[in-house]
Amino acid sequence: MVLNRKFYRRSPQQRPQQNVTFNDVRKRFDFRSIAIGRWVTEAEKARAAGLFYDALVDLMTILQGQELLVSLRGTLAFQYGTGGRPGISAHYEPGSRTFALAKNAGPGAIAHEWFHALDHYLSDKAFSDTPNNMFASEAWLRDATPVPHPINDSLFACFRAVMLDESGENPSEMFRVSKVADEANGCVYYAEPAEMCARAFEAFVQDSYISNNFLVAGTKATDEARLGLYPCGEHRERINAAFKHYFLLLGRALQRNPRG
């Protein structure tokens, strides 16, 4: 069973109490709701709650943000072990704004799926003419009408760093590799803007001074990483710098106006 594994964590943040529950997770981060599957045992629930709590604390610390950033101002719901999709360990559902982890899978996927939630949440904040289920990264690529704001400009710089080369005129190497992988698989997945940006965000989180492989794993030593489906080298550094700047600006804005 996946949750019986030991997960590596190196973080300056430690729990105030040893045992936490999903109720503690909801209270601290103000999730809209948390639902637990009926087949999750009490022991599994307790173990998962602690791991998830630590992962979210570490994510918040890496992003230099607050609890309201993690729950996207209380709009994000969370499900654990409620069924999900066959063969998929974690996913984000735009229609219900729900982030879900499978019962015996999902470790390492939290950063990726959380970024999908953020990407979706920001769509109508960064653009004035996007449909409900469109992600901000896709809207940017489709030249949707931007909402003028310095923080949005910084977000667009992140998308540009992921999807374009340093000149800003041509597709990035990561995009080219993603397109080749999609052609080999006969589908469009890796090259989708939302997927590219979520993988790039994973790399940013994994490169942090905090290590938590329940939060993120696989951007360096996996087959996908070796293929170039995650950013590497100078491209990775450029993306990391863009994300760092964006979350610094966002965190400052949330501190000044937590309810805005």
10 with 129, same domain: the answer is no
Domain total in the chain: 2
Of 60, 82, 114, which residue constitutes the final position of a domain? 114
162 with 197, same domain: the answer is yes
Q: Which amino acid is at 91?
A: H
Strand partners, 79: 35, 100
231 with 245, same domain: the answer is yes
Q: Vertex 100, ends 27 and 205: CA angle to 5°? A: 80
Q: CA distances (Å), 27 to each of 2, 75, 113, 169, 251, in order?
A: 26, 14, 21, 46, 20
Of 77, 95, 114, which residue constitutes the final position of a domain? 114
pLDDT at 107: 76
pLDDT at 88: 56
Question: Could you write out the DSSP letters of every residue in 78-142?
Answer: EEESS---TT-SEEEETTTTEEEE-TT--TT-HHHHHHHHHHHHTHHHHBSS--TT--HHHHHHT
Separation CA 79–CA 100 (nearest Å): 5
Half-sphere exposure of 30 (CA within 13 A, CB side): 10
Q: From 194, 188, 67, select the one nearest 122 (Cα to Cα).
A: 194
125 with 101, same domain: the answer is no
- Contact (Cβ atoms closer than 8 angstroms) between residue 232 and residue 75: no
pLDDT at 259: 61
To 10 degrees, what angle do helices 150-163 and 233-256 make?
A: 160
pLDDT at 114: 97
110 with 128, same domain: the answer is no
Tens place of pLDDT per residue across the chain (260 aa): 355 568 899 999 988 777 899 999 999 999 999 999 988 899 989 989 999 999 999 999 999 999 999 999 999 999 998 765 555 568 899 999 999 988 766 678 999 999 999 999 999 999 999 998 999 999 999 999 999 999 999 999 999 999 999 999 999 999 999 999 999 999 999 999 999 999 999 999 999 999 999 999 999 999 999 999 999 999 999 999 999 999 999 999 988 876 65
10 with 105, same domain: the answer is yes
Of 51, 82, 114, which residue constitutes the final position of a domain? 114
In terms of residue numbers, what domain contains 18? 2-114
Separation CA 155–CA 169 (nearest Å): 18
22 with 104, same domain: the answer is yes
Q: From 256, 249, 59, select the one nearest 158 (Cα to Cα).
A: 249
Q: Which amino acid is at 50?
A: G
161 with 50, same domain: the answer is no
pLDDT at 175: 97
Token pair in block for residue 94? 């735009």
Strand partners, 101: 80, 90
Q: From 48, 58, 93, select the one nearest 75 (Cα to Cα).
A: 93
142 with 103, same domain: the answer is no
110 with 126, same domain: the answer is no
104 with 86, same domain: the answer is yes
Residue reference for tokens 């994510």: 59
6 with 96, same domain: the answer is yes
pLDDT at 84: 52
| pTM for this predicted structure | 0.94
pLDDT at 190: 97
